[in-house]
Amino acid sequence: MRKKIQSNRIALVLSAINVRRLLPGLRQFVAAGRDYWLVDLYRPAKEIRQLLDDWQPAGMLTEWIPGLTEAYLREELPTVLVTSRQQRPGIVGLDVDNRAVGRLAADYLSANGWPHLAFYGNETPYSTEREKGFNESLKQLGRSYHRFQESGGFQRQYIEHWHESDPALLKWLKALPKPCAVFAAHDPLGRSLAEACRDSGIALPESIGILGVNNDQLVCEMTNPPLSSIAIPWERLGYLAGQALESLLSGQQLQESMQWLPPGEIVERRSTELLAIQDPLVRNALTWIRDQACSGANVKDLVRAQRVSRRQLEQAFRSQLQRSPREEILRVRINRAKELLRQTDWGQARIAEHCGFQSPERFSINFQKLTGQLPSLYRKMSRV
């Protein structure tokens, strides 16, 4: 058991992108009196070691970058590693469950009717884990996928990811069967993929759809078309990292040296719009549902708008999406409700009305049916 340390100084040795992601979750520890000192993780390791010697922090919160982090880790300093699978004596690690990220991507893209799927990764540990989860889910569905791995540039800073399109990537993209949805291991890879498609004259999302990871608005909104992405609960990761560090500083022996967090929601943008659906009836119906579902419209209204029989519409949806029109309307409503629960303090009655539900009770029942949680619990779990 470590000796309790009286200093309030904590060294945050992080990349710029993770400072922005994690600091909101650390706010309450600052309010409680902790003094956080920021150090750029990409400084030379010798400088970081000297700063730690000079500052004498009580503890350190850092991230794992192979070839960098191990050069300044200290066994005697209480440390929490974020975005790390590393399990080292006396060090607590926290990360998202990257296999679950891959499984979520596979299930989402398969459920949305893409006839061909692919994975675009790099040489990082999280990319490997995300592909494993992607592969696991597709195997269960009896599906295969194409893959391309970016080589080199392992330590390229996240926010400086741009580079000229790899000729091998361009060749791979041209050879992919179309339409194809590509799961990119993180958002910068998704943006690189979009740029490569434009370089190759490949239409997005008509021929290639792209799903990234992190839901980093700085990257997703600057991609053309805007990039759909799996959200990572960064604020909660920051909070849990601060909480774990407080436990270490108080001398507590944590039961687990590694904690895994489930991924967040899929934030849909234009890069995965269902233009790849082959059946024009289903494609038009999906566009109508996205526009009208939260206004209270139902399947009868949809049938009337599409001028087909309900049976014909049901069969087309089952064939293309493996779900019914009613299930799609409900999915769109619930996704909108999730967004409002995360981003507003609206009561359930107001959210129910805004999302097209007849009553708060019906909203709560359907929300729990689809998510396994009551709306109130979902809101609580989505916030620190």
Right CATH for 98-232+266-274 from 3.40.50.2300, 3.60.110.10, 1.10.10.10, 2.40.160.210: 3.40.50.2300
Right CATH for 277-382 from 3.60.140.10, 1.10.620.20, 1.10.10.60, 1.10.390.10: 1.10.10.60
**Dihedral pair phi/psi, residue 149, rounded to 5°:** -120, 125
Instruction: Provide the CA 253 distance to its chain's centre, in angstroms.
Output: 31
Question: What one-letter code names the amino acid at 313?
Answer: L
pLDDT attached to residue 227: 95
What value does the mean pLDDT take over residues 157-174?
77
pLDDT single digits (tens) 101-115: 999 999 999 888 788
pLDDT attached to residue 111: 81
pLDDT surpassing 60 at residue 153: no
pLDDT surpassing 80 at residue 164: no
Query: What is the residue extent of each domain of the chain?
Result: 9-95+234-261, 98-232+266-274, 277-382
| Full-model pTM | 0.78
Query: Quick one: pLDDT band at residue 376, thresholds 50, 70, 90?
Result: very high
pLDDT surpassing 80 at residue 334: yes
CATH architecture of 9-95+234-261: 3-Layer(aba) Sandwich (3.40)
Query: Quick one: pLDDT band at residue 3, thresholds 50, 70, 90?
Result: very low
